[in-house]
Amino acid sequence: MTNGGKTTLTNRLIKTLPNCCVIHQDDFYKPQDQIEVGEDGFKQWDVLESLDMEAMLNTVLAWLNNPMKFARTHGINIQQNSQGSNSNDTHILILEGFLLYSYNAYRWTEIQRALPS
């Protein structure tokens, strides 16, 4: 659903939750010249093919591999726990977008397998 408040909710969550990163699907649109034009004469931005989902999945995997490094390289401050360490704290990743579940279920399963138990 477009214009359903996803970004508004995401922005509130990242302000409220500590150690929270967000990956916006909107950041993974292909260049304009690679977007197909539909029968109506308009570019088809609301279809999965308009997105570079492999790049998005690779970004998710980078976060899974090292959430602290990901946060630092994206300008996100990591809060330290009461013992002064942040290595064992909980880290949260929010994936924001309206076509997330339209993508290859097998690739999402790979990511789920990479999650710690």
Active-site residue numbers? 26
Distance CA 39, CA 76 (A): 42
Helix 53-65 vs helix 105-114: crossing angle, to nearest 10: 10
6-11 long-range CB contacts below 8 Å, 24 or more apart? 6/96, 6/97, 6/98, 7/96, 10/94, 10/96
